[in-house]
Chains A and B, each alone.
Chain A
């Protein structure tokens, strides 16, 4: 990314739009020339005339296209949801830091996701499946509010086939739900892991991240440095200039969005997410 074009988006057409769950859709974009990213990074997605929003990349670097899972939740995202195939969209990036994972070869991997938090985690999970032999057990603990809010249900079977242990939970079941009921941290008792050789990646609503990281480090016993979360904040520039995404002294768009637990535990503004 050249300095002169710091705020200049690249225009790409939308190849495909896939409705996921209510209010959430995945947009498939072609990779611009020379584009590579690392799992955990995000893009600033522009819809001219409306604005720009930060969206994490939910496809792995080894995948041919860019997949962005976007929820219809505000002014810009609701306009993005009215777009169709072939419509043009602007992207800037990849921005932010990425999940550390190369150093965890041979470890057991624990993914803890809540709601739409599975989207950024999937880019790492999927990338690991391209190199499945490099890692030990891969466990996905995922929870959502209701069964119809579970994201990417069509992909769980593929994950299981490739050696991922998938455990799901919902806050509120329905008549057909036979699985676990409770917040995702209730799944911690249901798995048996060796904490010294496990690394955990967490993403979800702010309050969930706070409790999940705490329980993983204190109850489950995973070393705090191996408890890793990707945080979300209101962003405008994505390159550390506008100041909106600051937590304590960290700029979520540059020092993050991926943080290790010890880094964020003492940050001003972290202890009461919202």
Chain B
């Protein structure tokens, strides 16, 4: 969808608008933790919002897919088993989300709506209810962190759509790009706080985008090359084994990644009363693919890594999902305990094809 309107709002007025929003619904914004890190949390008082962050360690994923979510409750009453679905979908606005996370939300929405399979009758009711009640006010990045590489992954630092409002810091004012009907409705509701943006302000936003593109650090991901290698399926086993050797199986990458959303289901309670909940799971865990009774198609760490990269970087999935599964947010770089995160994986895959010795043993299908 092309940009619907270019508006402008002063920094003071933005806080006024957020304050009003916080009164009517849940406002999620970056808040400073005790150690100085920023994290998306519900705020009641807009003075709690911090602007002093590049990106939070956690994407605001848990507001769409909570780490621990009750999906149904059951209770035995008069000999009858009553089962009820639990859907919690409060109205929320997320302010301060970055472009990479907006792309991540779009990716996970494409999956959870069932569009990936062409089966919208199988859309996840919990996720969709929350997504429909969610407004995204994103803030574009002007100073990427050394670990960022969204520019290699088609996911930033500025987006064309996916957001409701995209704000760019112009100094005294924010330039506000309206990206959806919901965003338009918001601007109209607070029309007294917004002005139309001037030509030179829109031009300034384009200039800022060009400036940012030059500021990226040493973690390019060259996703195109990786995609080709993974799709062709002849990456030598040594690459996966070398990555598997250093993987500490913490699962952190899958929890922090805006494009990861696998979960497992547990029943809590006894046969009379209790609930069923879903919890985030990581494909790097040994029990992820293990069948009851013991057979495990992905017993070794190299196999699990291979499956994860195939899911994220193969043309077979790009065809189904509309884009590959990495938005270049760089969080895996921070959290990986064995230093075998996405950029490292990409580097090793690409190096394998430059080394003669690997070429000889490459498995050709």
Taking Cβ atoms with an 8 Å cutoff, the residues of A that contact B are 1, 3-9, 11, 47-53, 71, 73-77, 88, 90, 205-206, 232-234, 236-237, 239-244, 246-249, 251, 254-255, 266, 268-269, 272-274
Number of residues in B with C-beta < 8 Å to the partner? 56
On whether A11 and B122 interact (CB within 8 A), knowing A49-B274, A246-B307, A272-B297, the answer reads no
Report whether A266 and B83 are in contact in the complex, using a CB–CB cutoff of 8 Å. Answer: no
Q: List 28 A-B contacts (CB under 8 A).
A: A3-B123, A5-B85, A6-B122, A6-B125, A7-B71, A7-B125, A8-B85, A48-B74, A48-B271, A49-B74, A50-B267, A52-B265, A75-B292, A77-B292, A233-B291, A234-B290, A236-B265, A241-B122, A241-B124, A241-B263, A242-B262, A243-B262, A244-B281, A246-B307, A249-B317, A268-B310, A269-B310, A274-B297
Report whether B293 and A73 are in contact in the complex, using a CB–CB cutoff of 8 Å. Answer: yes
Report whether B283 and A240 are in contact in the complex, using a CB–CB cutoff of 8 Å. Answer: no
For residue B121, which residue of chain A has the nearest CB? A3
User: Beta-carbon contacts of B65-79 to A below 8 Å, as 1s and 0s?
Assistant: 000000110100000
* Bound form: Cα–Cα A11–B123 in Å: 22
For residue B288, which residue of chain A has the nearest CB? A244
Q: Which of B81, B288, B292, B306 lies in contact with A76, CB distance below 8 A?
A: B292
Chain A residues touching B, majority SS: loop
Partner-binding segment picked from B112-120, B191-199, B219-227, B347-355? B112-120
Additional 19 contacts, C-beta under 8 A, given A233-B289, A234-B291, A268-B314: A3-B121, A6-B125, A8-B85, A47-B271, A48-B74, A49-B271, A50-B267, A51-B267, A52-B267, A73-B293, A90-B83, A206-B297, A236-B265, A242-B265, A243-B261, A244-B281, A249-B314, A274-B295, A274-B297
Report whether A249 and B303 are in contact in the complex, using a CB–CB cutoff of 8 Å. Answer: no
Report whether A248 and B265 are in contact in the complex, using a CB–CB cutoff of 8 Å. Answer: no
* Bound form: Cα–Cα A234–B288 in Å: 8
Q: Which of A9, A53, A254, A266 lies in contact with B122, CB distance below 8 A?
A: A254
For residue A236, which residue of chain B has the nearest CB? B265
